[in-house]
Amino acid sequence: MNAEAAEQIRYSHLGPYLKTVQRFKPLRAEGRVTQMIGHLIEATNPGCSKGSMCFLYDPQTRVSVPAEVVGFREDKILVMLLEQMTNVGPHCRILYNHRDPSIRVGEGLLGRVIDPLMRPIDGQGELFTHTETPLYPPSINPLNRPRVFEPLDVGVRVINGTLTCGRGQRVGILAGSGVGKSVLLGMMARYTDADVNVIALIGERGREVKDFIEGIFGSEGMARSIVVVATSDQPALLRLRGAFVATAIAEFFRAQGKDVLLTMDSLTRFAMAQREIGLA
């Protein structure tokens, strides 16, 4: 008798217990929808905290839609959906998974286009990511931040010569509509001397996303890039989340010792999404 057969005999008595564990359905904390005004849903609190991910479940259609807790009103939670759902009513339940907001990241994100829920939208199959990182990580001690000394080659000579950027610097491109901000961002993302590019397209029109990726960015730029897309027709909370997802991805690669360029188009639409949520 070989060692493998002996091992199987040794643990054979555990078979019935393993089947019981597989059939076991753990208890889940849940709440009930009590009111909905506009895009804001009020529900009983199943134990959520602000920023927690939960799911709005319709037992009639068996449809489950992701949502996020955005605030509280007395002992009730205020929830906004991350996807469209039409059949919202008092019969719907709020399911809470008791996990801190986090995303799965890794080298498998390079060259991919994803949405703010970390789902691929480029038709290239599933993502292979194995490392979990917090979506809202703590900020760095300002005394631990390195000073900006080294110039950054952004691949645009007029910027390198007259408006030189440094590694670690934050830069804003402020201009009116239709003057070429997105084109300039695409050029910088394509030619900047960086190991990884993370691009957040927040509030862009759906038709412009493909033009940016294929026309402005090109296959050469996509090879070392990750694009997070939240278009203008998606919920405000999803557009807001897209910016945080892109930032968390960039911070992960920075922690790996890589030079990372994080660009967002546009910060104005990010602020408008935040305002829309605040007025809800």
Residue 18's Cβ-side half-sphere holds a number of Cα atoms within 13 Å equal to: 5
Q: Confidence class of residue 60 from pLDDT cuts 50, 70 and 90?
A: confident
Q: Residue 162: which CATH number?
A: 3.40.50.12240
Q: Residue 46: which CATH number?
A: 2.40.10.170
Domain boundary among 76, 96, 116: 96
Look at residue 15 and tell me if it is in a domain: no
Look at residue 12 and tell me if it is in a domain: no
Spatial CA neighbour of 92 closest among 48, 21, 133, 42: 42
In which domain, by residue range, is 176 found? 102-279
Do 118 and 229 have their domain in common?
A: yes
Please determine, for residue 17, whether its predicted confidence score (pLDDT) is greater than 70.
no
Look at residue 13 and tell me if it is in a domain: no
Look at residue 23 and tell me if it is in a domain: no
Domain boundary among 67, 96, 125: 96
Look at residue 16 and tell me if it is in a domain: no
Mean pLDDT confidence for 56-78:
87
Do 60 and 158 have their domain in common?
A: no
| Tens of pLDDT, residues 107-121 | 999 989 999 999 999
Q: What is the pLDDT of residue 58?
A: 84
CA 43 – CA 63 distance, rounded (Å): 18
Please determine, for residue 29, whether its predicted confidence score (pLDDT) is greater than 80.
no
> Would you list the DSSP string of 119-186?
-B-SSS------EEEESSPPPPPGGGSPP--SEE--S-HHHHHHS-EETT--------TTSSHHHHHH
CA separation, residue 150 to residues 32, 143, 170, 171 (Å): 55, 18, 14, 15
How many domains in the chain?
Answer: 2
Q: Which residue has the tokens 């909905």?
A: 36
Do 66 and 125 have their domain in common?
A: no
* Lowest pLDDT segment from 34-43, 90-99, 122-131: 90-99
Do 222 and 133 have their domain in common?
A: yes
| Tens of pLDDT, residues 216-270 | 666 777 888 999 999 988 889 999 999 999 999 999 999 999 999 999 988 889 9
Amino acid at 66: P
Do 112 and 225 have their domain in common?
A: yes
Look at residue 198 and tell me if it is in a domain: yes
Do 152 and 268 have their domain in common?
A: yes
